[in-house]
Amino acid sequence: MKTATPLTIETRLYNGISIVPEPATLMFSGPMASVISRSTASQYPVTKLRVSPRIGTADRFVSLPDGIQLQCADGPLLDRLPQEGRTEGLVAWLEHRWWVALFSLMVTVMALLAGYFAGLPVAAEKISARIPIEYEKSLGEESLAWMDQRKLFMPSDLPSETQGLLEGSFRELHQGLSMDAHYRLEFRRAPAIGPNAFALPGGIIVITDEMILKTGSPGEALAVLAHEIGHVEQRHVMRHVLQNSVVATVAATLTGDASSLSLAVSGLPVLLAQAKYSREFEAEADEFAFALLRQNNISPGLFADLMERLSEGRGEKRQSWSFLSSHPVTASRVMRARQAARE
């Protein structure tokens, strides 16, 4: 009866004593395997051998029952021996195909972009609606105090009569809105910032003396305030902060815990002062303001008049925190305001 020729694999033997391997030959046929080197000649049941998983084109190891390991180049003969794991086939298949890795990378990048541009705004909108108003008002108070302490703002020089008239008109403007009970108008002088107005969390709206002096009538000042009310009512302030704080937004989404937002608001004052809302946010605030102005018998054309006046000095050097920097005037915005005035 003809005996099958033993299968042989040239290896390097590590005996666990010396760090220097020695050449060895692994032979197997039937139930037994033999390892022959200059220092040993041993036999083992084939079922006791274990071959390490395939990793690309790297060498593989054959573990023997007595702790000896054999290192050898990968080859089809090793597939005939018992394997450490059964999943290496798929992994090895993937590792040998660079186009799979490239495709996976492209899918990952596309998923991240989709999450950032589509998923993140949706998550920010839902989370902002769940933030308690007390928490939001606290953020607004802290932000205003931060800017006051650092002399970004100084006490207003406007006559008390002017402030009182604007406050009264402002109350009429926001009467009946969802945030009606929480609105507060703050006047500040800000030479370093210039003509500006912006909303803080919790319904606080700040308008600078410089902005009021730029207006040609109380109606123009109310037009600016109506725009900021639009940001508040649409929750743009918190949505903007959340969208610029991806980690905090993800944490709040997964845990449903508003306290997770601490990371998001760590740099809130500077972020709000330099806020550059998206075109979508600006358009929403504009449309809200135009409707609110019409309801109060104020022409949206006043908003366009003021925007054009503010942009007249476009060639002059402006502070980075100016109203034009955070609310850029475009021809389309002015045109929409003019159109809203005709409706």
Q: Please identify which of the residues 136, 210, 220, 228 carries the catalytic annotation.
A: 228
Q: Is beta strand 204-208 parallel, antiparallel or unpaired with respect to 184-189?
A: parallel
| C-alpha distance from residue 67 to each of 4, 13, 336 (Å) | 28, 11, 81
Helical spans, DSSP H, in the chain: 88-95, 98-114, 120-130, 133-149, 160-174, 209-214, 218-233, 236-243, 246-255, 268-273, 279-295, 301-310, 323-326, 331-342
| Residues 265, 286: Cα–Cα separation, whole Å | 26
228 belongs to the catalytic site? yes
Please state, as a whole number, how many other Cβ atoms lie within 10 Å of the Cβ of residue 63.
Answer: 16
Query: What SS3 state is found at 60?
Result: strand
State how far the alpha carbon of 230 is from the alpha carbons of 70, 72, 131, 237, 255, in Å: 73, 71, 18, 10, 29
* Closest to 231 measured CA to CA, from 194, 193, 198: 198
What strand order describes the sheet that includes 60-63? 41-45, 32-37, 22-29, 7-14, 69-72, 60-63, 50-51
Residues 6+ apart with CB under 8 A from 124: 238, 239, 242, 243, 249
77 exposure class (CB count in 10 Å sphere: 0-12, 13-18, 19+)? middle
Amino acid at 97: R
Q: How far, in Å, CA of 228 to CA of 200, rounded?
A: 9
For residue 278, how many other CB atoms are within 10 A of its CB? 13
Residues annotated catalytic, as ranges: 228
